[in-house]
Amino acid sequence: MASNLDTNTKAVTSLPASSSAGSNLAAVARPGSAKAFAWATIALVACFSVPLARLAYFAATSDLYSHILLVPFVSVYLASLNRRRVLDASMPAWRFVALTGGVGLALLAGYWLAMWRSWPIANQDGLAWTTSAFLFLLFGLCGVFADRDTLQAMRFPLCFLLFMIPFPLMIHNGLEGSLQRGSALTAYGLFQISGTPVYYDNMSFQLPGFGLAVAPECSGIHSSLVLFLTSLIAGYLFLRSSWRRTVLAVAVLPLGLLRNGFRIFVIGELCVHVGPQMIYSEIHRNGGPVFFALSMVPFLLLLFLLRRAEQRQADVAQPPPRA
C-alpha cells in the first residue's frame, strides 16, 4: 500500500517490459479509464446539481459550515500527493461498489419517499440526506474505476469528503450543547483557581457586580471543528502511525474546551475589573481568531513532539550501515 510519504518520490515515467511479482511500481491505467471516470463523475454531479447548488449556498451563508466549500479541493489535493497510484479499471472492487452504491441508492430512495409523503424535513437535514447519497454513489463510482489497493491508498482523501455533509440538526444541537456545557464548566474552574468570587448555575455566572450567561453561540463549535479538521490533515501529512494520528485528533477536544473556557474567563475578568461594558468589547465580539491562534500553540507543540518521537523510532529501527 502506498503511503502519503510517496510525495517525495519522483513520478515513474516508464515501466520495464517485465517486472517481478512483488514489484511496488505504480499500477498501469487502462487506456480511457481516466477519461471514463471523469465523464461518469461529471454525469453524477449533473444529476445532483440542484442539491449540490443548495449545499453550496448553505455553506456560503453559514459560519459553521463554510469549510464545506473547501473540502472537495482539499481531498483532490491530498489524492494528488499519492502519484504512484492511478486509475486501474482492470479489477474493479465490486464488493465495495455494491456496498457504497447500495447505501447511496437507499439514502436517495429514502429521501424521495420523504418528499413524496410530504414529511417535514429541515433544510439542514435534507442537505445531509442528499449529500450523503451523492458521496456514497461517488465512492461506488470510484470502486468501478479503481482496484482494491488503489482505494486503500486513497481512503483518507475519500473519507475526508464526508465532511461535506452538514450535521443533522439532532447531532448539531447535541454537539453544540455538550461544548457549551463543557466550556462553561472549564470557565468555572478557571474562576475558582483565580480566586474570583463566582456562583455558577445552569451555564450562568454571577460575578461581583455582574452576571454572565454562556449562550449556545459561545459553545466554540466552529473553531473546534476547524481545529479537528486541521488535526486530521496534519496527522495524515506529517505522521505515519495510526495511534499518533488518533492522539493528535483526540487532543482537539480538551484543547477546544480549554480555549473556549479561557475566553469566557477572560471576558468575565475584564467585566469585573474594568467594567460591565467589556461585554460589548471587540475581544468578545471579534476575539475568536485570537483565542484560536493561542490554541494552535499547544497543538503545534504536540504535533512536533509526536513527529519527533516517530522519527526517533524510525532511526532506531533502521539497521546501521555496513562498514
pLDDT digits (tens, 9 = 90+) for 96-150: 999 999 999 999 999 999 989 888 889 999 999 999 999 999 999 999 988 888 8
- What is the helix, strand, coil percentage profile of the chain, to 5? 70, 5, 25
Low-confidence ranges of the chain (pLDDT < 70): 1-32, 83-90, 317-323
What pLDDT, on the 0 to 100 scale, is given for residue 3? Answer: 42
Helix (H) or strand (E) holding 206: strand 204-207
Residues written for the chain: 323
Residue 25 confidence (pLDDT):
32
**What is the number of other CB atoms lying within 10 angstroms of the CB of residue 230?**
17
For residue 68, count CB atoms less than 10 angstroms from its CB and return exposed for 0-12, middle for 13-18, buried for 19 or more. buried
Q: Give the pTM.
A: 0.81
Residue 215, pLDDT score = 86
Q: Report pLDDT for 32.
A: 52
